[in-house]
A and B are shown apart, each in its own frame.
Chain A
Amino acid sequence: MDFKIIEVYASSGHLVVTAEHYNANGSLWFVEHYTWQGREGLKQKRATNALGQLLLDNGTVAPTEVRRGPPDELAAFLPPGRNWLRQPAPHMVDDSILSVIRAIHKQRLASGWPQGKVDTLQTFKSASTDHAGVTVLLAKFRSLIGRAE
């Protein structure tokens, strides 16, 4: 096991994911805080239909125009007065978090990192959107507590 997520919580409008990283022999190597701005909880991916076509906020398929290549491609565009239809859930997914923890573990294996180092979390600055969005992130990602790889 390389790491285990031991806590997921909100602090200063940020999602904080605390992970223990382990040596190859299973002993504790270091503890790190990984953070994301709370505003990410308010960002949603654009919605598409089963054909992968982008949808507008009135449920219709977005118009397209040929974007000259090569290769030529059909590009959807937003007509005046319309917005994109968005998926209900945040754009972030479990792997948005896990991929960063994996990458840091790999980087520090290669570069070296002190044994037993425990990160001290500082107080972040934040915007109102961070405080509004972090509860969404917390609800979505608290289930990662205990996740180990």
Chain B
Amino acid sequence: MTVTTFFPSLDGSIVEDTNAVWATIRGATAGDIATPTAATIECRILTTLTTDIWERMTRAIVLFDTNTIPDGDNVDSATFELVATDRAETIANQSASMVTSTPATDTDIILEDYDQLGTTKQATDKTLASFTVDSATYSAFTLNATGLGNISKTGVSRFGFRITSDNDNAEPTWASDVDGRITVASAEEILAGDKRPKLVVTHTLPFVPKALMF
């Protein structure tokens, strides 16, 4: 087995910033703000002061160029690791879901990428409370079999994360001016040291039995 660490080839958040009911803000086909060079990326849901109206929904896309993994290797395990810099939990019991993404290109994050995150979970959901928020310590998603299968040995592995309520289309009980958010260091972070998102992949050449003929 060999352990290879990948840093993002690109990452960014897309924010849908409009006052609307849950279905409208969640179902938008494009966002209002895209941040491909920001020092942080995040996923978020935020309410307004008006009953049943949501102000903001944010999703994050993270791409890793994993095509250098030997073609014949099996991907045995992997972790997707993030350093959290901020969190809001005035909406109780929120989680983040790791999913796949299909951005329009591998070289930019654009407004139209807002609806280009999948809903199939690539790892067990991670509660916002379980993130260490100190701008220094990595918190990890451990990829499940589906996630491992989406690590590409021939191209870019396209992942992302979104608030689980958004992912599952399970609107939380509305309250005025409440927030569920996890903010993490991006590929363009400017913290001390190296706090970029990373994908740590353990891979191995499968054992091939050989027969000896006498």
Contacts and interface: CB of A to CB of B under 8 A. Distances in A.
Interface of A: 13-14, 32-37, 40, 43, 45-46, 48, 52, 54, 67-68, 70, 75, 77-78, 84, 91-93, 95-96, 99-100, 103-104, 117, 119-127, 130
Nearest to A12: B68
B4 interface: yes
B7 A40 contact: yes
Interface in B60-94: 65, 67-73, 79
Given A14-B68, A125-B67, A119 B7 contact: no
Contacts of B189: 45
Given A92-B194, A124-B70, A126-B68, A35 B138 contact: no
Contacts of B140: 103
Nearest to B66: A37
B70 A91 contact: no
B209 interface: no
B5 A36 contact: yes
B144 interface: no
B205 A104 contact: no
Contacts of B73: 122
Given A91-B194, A103-B79, A122-B205, 16 more contacts: A33-B3, A34-B2, A34-B3, A37-B65, A43-B7, A45-B190, A70-B179, A75-B38, A95-B193, A96-B5, A100-B3, A104-B3, A119-B1, A119-B2, A122-B72, A125-B71
A4 to B, nearest CB: 16
B194 A68 contact: no
Contact of A34 (B5, B65, B138): B5
Helix, strand, loop or mixed for chain A's interface?
Answer: mixed
B17 interface: yes
Nearest to B37: A78
A122 B190 contact: no
B3 A93 contact: no
Contact of A96 (B4, B69, B194): B194
B193 A54 contact: no
Contact of B2 (A33, A92, A95, A99): A33
A68 B33 CA distance: 10
B200 A124 contact: no
B68 A37 contact: yes
Contacts of A67: 33
Contacts of A96: 5, 193-194
A68 B3 contact: no
